[in-house]
Amino acid sequence: MSALPFFSERIAAGFPSPAQGYLDEHLDLNRLCIRRPASTFLLRVEGDSMVDAGIFSGDILIVDRSLEAVAGDVVVASLEGEFTVKELQLLPTPMLKPRNAAYAPIPIGDDGVDLFGVVTFCLHALRGRG
Amino acid sequence: MFALVDCNSFYAACERLFRPDLQGRPVVVLSNNDGCIVAGSEEAKALGVKTGMPVHLARDLIARHKIAVFSSNYALYGDISQRVMATLETLVPQVEVYSIDEAFLDLSLMGEAELLPLAQQVRARVARWVGVPVCVGVAPTKVLAKLANHAAKRYPATGGTVVLTDPARREKLLALTPVSRVWGVGRRLMGRLEALGIETALDLARADSCMIRRRFSVVQERLVRELNGEPCLSLDTQPSPRQQVIHSRSFGEPVTTLPPVRQALSDFAFRAMESLRKESLYAGRVTVYLRTAPMGKPQQLFPNTLSAALSPATADTRVVVHQAQALLTRLWKQGYRYGKAGVILTDLRGRGQVQSGLFTSEQPAEPDSGARADALMAVLDTINQSGAGKVWLAGQGMQADQRSVWAMRRAHLSPAYTCRWSDLPVAR
């Protein structure tokens, strides 16, 4: 991701203000999306089990392994030898919840579940596919 | 007080990180060119796979136990290593990166009661944040920290952390440790020590340090002192200035004709110069070497190395490629089967230390030298790092398929999970 210049002024229609054009700072998407580079990994989504949470096939997930997962987090877990992205539910019973009515929730047994990390952002391309 | 943090079966752990299906399964990693086994998971070691084993001797084991086999993926290991080190830096201010999977920490500011909790925290945090297991050994000296780490790895009851501050406990561990396990004791030294009746680390610790100094050197005397808890080695956080850049590869199969070797050497020189410029260095000497294939004719090529001074020292790929080719022409002998070639850059210096030649003027008469060459190389590096495309010299070969003759064999290479968009791990 490259840095984009950020101008904090409003754009006025009409005559340009003489103060216009002062650069405030460069906005770095890495700094917004990746708080801890050491523990942050990118994964690609495949499938439609999370479409109601706005996560679509082909999207890129930003996953931070350092975060403590809490109820309601979207998490990546390893399940039967694969990574799966689901919403973590803890009450009334712990389960990995798909966000698509066509999929059944996955109960978390007493052995728990092997969490890879917590999803902090989802990058969804609206035009073309990068 | 020092800690040594060492990743357990690091390469195998990296290969497993994005392959949950390999959890608990034996994994081995092969050397460059897929020749030998260079690393194995605990499961693989338990099956009798040994580091250094030629892969053809392990074929039966691999097939019988369905061992997962990987070519070395240094891009992946380098990325994970850097994450481990960055994680360590969040816990302690002073970290010495000792190797791709080991780091020393300076714990001199910690109270004794804090050492074990910190060691446990290091272990837990690296496992959590990065996903690779580490062991931590803590002791008053680096040599003892190495031994403590070894004990933490070897004895599961330690929970992966050993703090070696108690002298009685230290003595017990030293008595259990063969002297060959002591950091810095190689095979030759081991033989000479055993001749003196020194078999365990404790024997060495109890040896008369003056005698050791007389018979060996001050280096071994320091070992004795370190084993007794007297620190002689300090934390080395400043990477020593680079002495050389080497780029060499084994060929996928033995090569008998000159053109592919020419291409390979151009490519190696090109890459070596890229690394050189990344550190803003200039090279004063270039060396080219050739090695015959191990299973080829018995006679060895001699000489197999030639070098030439670069005057003035240069960061210009074209100059070095040209010089390397001239050296190769002199070195080359028909009739051998060549297995490996390499380019070595030495006599490295920073820009300020480059002496201009007596006959090269500040304003170079040739449009291709000096500042203009630097500018050209900067453009080259920018294009090649941008990911938008690659620019290389025609001498490196036109297409990937032409380069396959000398390209390294990496039949079992895993994806570049963390450094290529097309290779990201998938979540369903």
Same domain, B144 and B172: no
Residue with tokens 């700094």: A31
- A24 pLDDT band (50/70/90 cuts)? low
User: What's the pLDDT score for residue B251?
Assistant: 82
Q: What is the ipTM of this complex?
A: 0.81
| Structural tokens at position B201 | 């680390």
Same domain, B263 and B303: yes
Count: domains in chain B:
3
Convert the pLDDT of each residue in B230-267 to its tens digit: 999 888 766 566 778 888 888 878 888 898 899 889 98
- Report the alpha-carbon distance of residue B389 to residue B386 in Å, rounded: 7
C-alpha count within 13 angstroms, C-beta hemisphere, residue B113: 0
Contact B354, B312 (CB under 8 A): yes
B117 and B197 share one domain: no
Q: Are residues B393 and B275 in the same domain?
A: yes
Domain locations in chain A as residue ranges? 35-123
Q: Which residue of B has its CA nearest to A37?
A: B83
Active site residue A49: yes
Pairing outcome for strands B245-255 and B338-350:
antiparallel
CB contact under 8 A, A42 and B424: yes
Kindly state whether residues B211 and B317 are assigned to the same domain: no
| B427 chain-A contacts, CB cut-off 8 A | 43-46, 61, 76, 83-85
Kindly state whether residue B411 falls inside one of the protein's structural domains: no
What's the mean per-residue pLDDT of chain B?
A: 87
Question: Does residue B380 sit in helix, strand or coil?
Answer: helix
Report if residue B307 sits inside a domain: yes
Both B172 and B98 in a single domain?
no
The whole-angstrom separation of Cα B124 and Cα B136 is: 11
HSE of B346, CA atoms in CB hemisphere, 13 A: 7
Co-location of B102 and B223 in the same domain = no
Count how many pairs of residues, chain A against chain B, have C-beta atoms within 8 Å: 69
B403 is a domain residue: no
Tell me the three state secondary structure of residue B75. Answer: helix
Residues of B in contact with A44 (CB under 8 A): 424-427
Phi/psi at B76 (nearest 5 deg)? -65, -45
B263 three-class SS = helix
Per-residue model confidence as pLDDT tens digits over B175-215: 999 999 999 888 888 889 989 999 999 999 999 989 999 99
Is A57 an 8 Å CB contact of chain B?
no
Per-residue pLDDT, averaged over A50-56, amounts to 97
**Residue A60 touches chain B, beta carbons under 8 Å:** yes
| B218 and B266 in a common domain | no
Q: For residue B24, give the chain A residue with the closest CA.
A: A81
- Subunit contact B128:A65, Cβ cutoff 8 A: yes
Give the minimum alpha-carbon distance from A19 to chain B in angstroms, rounded to a whole number.
35
| Whether residue B261 sits in one domain with residue B112 | no
Tell me, yes or no, whether B21 and B158 share the same domain: yes
Residue A27: exposure state from Cβ atoms within 10 A (0-12, 13-18, ≥19) = exposed
Q: Which of A49, A57, A66, A97 is catalytic?
A: A49
Check whether B296 has a pLDDT greater than 50: no
Do B413 and B70 meet the contact criterion of CB atoms below 8 Å apart? yes
Please report whether residue B81 resides in a domain. yes
| Inter-residue contact B150 to B181 (CB < 8 Å) | yes
pLDDT > 70 in chain A, percent: 79
- Same structural domain, B182 and B214: yes
Q: Give the tens place of pLDDT for each residue, B68-126.
A: 999 999 889 999 999 999 999 999 988 999 889 999 999 998 999 999 999 999 999 99
Lowest mean pLDDT among A79-83, B55-59, B399-403: B399-403
> What is the percentage of chain A residues whose pLDDT exceeds 90?
68
Residue B49 and residue B33 in contact, taking contact as beta carbons nearer than 8 Å: no
Q: CA-based angle B390:B391:B392, to the nearest 5?
A: 120
**Residue A9: pLDDT above 60?**
no
More confident residue, A13 or B101: B101
Nearest Cβ partner of B418 from A41, A81, A83?
Answer: A41
Q: Which amino acid is at A79?
A: L
Q: Using the beta-carbon criterion (under 8 Å), do A39 and B21 form an inter-chain contact? A: no
pLDDT in tens, B4-33: 999 999 999 999 999 999 999 999 999 877
Residue A9 Cα, gap to closest chain B Cα (Å):
32
Determine phi and psi for B222, rounding to 5 degrees: -60, -35
pLDDT of residue B292: 80
Q: What is the CATH number of the domain that holds B41?
A: 3.30.70.270
Instruction: Find which of A2, A35, A39, A111 to mutate to test the B interface (most B CBs within 10 Å of its CB).
Output: A39
Check CB contact of B66 with chain A, cutoff 8 Å.
Answer: no
Look up the domain containing B145 and give its range.
Answer: 2-163
Q: Rounded CA gap, B223 and B209, in Å?
A: 9
Question: Does any CB of chain A come closer than 8 Å to the CB of residue B382?
Answer: no
If one looks up domain A35-123 in CATH, what number appears? 2.10.109.10
Q: Which residue type occupies B78?
A: G
B 207-236: CB under 8 A from A: none
Chain B residues whose beta carbon lies within 8 Å of the beta carbon of residue A60: 424
Task: Give a yes or no: residue B239 inside a domain.
Answer: no
A25 φ, ψ to 5°?
Answer: -165, 170
Put simply, the answer to whether A43 touches B129 (Cβ < 8 Å) is: no
Q: What is the CATH number of the domain that holds B370?
A: 3.30.1490.100
Tens of pLDDT, residue by residue over B308-366, are: 889 888 999 999 999 999 999 998 888 888 888 899 998 888 877 776 665 555 444 44
Burial bucket for residue B180 (CB in 10 Å: 0-12, 13-18, 19+) = middle
Cα–Cα distance measured from residue B161 to residue B127, given in angstroms and rounded to the nearest whole number:
13
Q: Which H/E stretch holds residue B40? A: strand B37-40
Domain match, B60 and B76 both: yes
Q: Is residue B243 part of a domain?
A: no
Please report whether residue B424 resides in a domain.
no
